Structure 1
Amino acid sequence: MIAKKKEVEQIKTKKVFSAPAILQVGSPTKDGGLRLKVETNELSENEIAMLMKQFNNKFGWILFSANKMNDDNIPEQQADSEGRKMKTPSQRLRATLFVYYTQRIDKSKTFDQFYVEQMEKIIDRFKANLDD
């Protein structure tokens, strides 16, 4: 069976795969991990093609539940290519301000005080450029 154009587009854009499956715990790995084996129920040709194209030999995260999962069970935050959760822009800004604080600011005030002051400066700068 040849996949239709719409089905191929869905395959290209799918970032999550779910199917009923049996999880079998395998053996420990040298680096302290655990080898797992997953056996799914019968899959369609499109699902197999999508799995092979999108997920084969890729690093990712696995969720497993004895019950059917829905979208609420899947984290929205994307992981980077090494599997670490990516920081939100606000988390990145706070982390950058912390490094700046530790390297450049005298410790007469706490980081929290410094953070609030810097955030107020950023907010004021943007507010100053708003139309009346």
Structure 2
Amino acid sequence: MSGTTHFRSHAWILSGLMNTPGILVLADGRLSFVADTGPVFDEPLDAVTDVRFPWYEFGGGFRATVAGQRRRIALVRPNGADTATAALFDTAVGEAFVASRAVHDIATGRTAGKSWRALLTGGAA
């Protein structure tokens, strides 16, 4: 993957009953997740392995091992979950990125999922 690829979208790290809202960012060969409270991870792409888009997520989420820790990432807002603040989307990861500012409904999340699948696995978007 080119080091100049930039993409970001709203996302949620799922962990039991808790969901961490934030922004999932691909920039300069690194995958990052930034929450309102700060960065959760920021790793080079070679530290992101075993990326899977399970059929039961309908393209709206994926699983990946990031720096040795298994993560469940939702691209569609889970029921009752908060979203990252608009200020985080605008400033925490810079202005060089292009993505929708809309809170992810199912269609928007699935569209983001197609992009993430192509970016993380080289699969067709």
TM-score, length of structure 2 as denominator length: 0.23
Rg: which structure is higher?
1
- Larger strand share, 1 or 2: 2
- Larger helix share, 1 or 2: 1
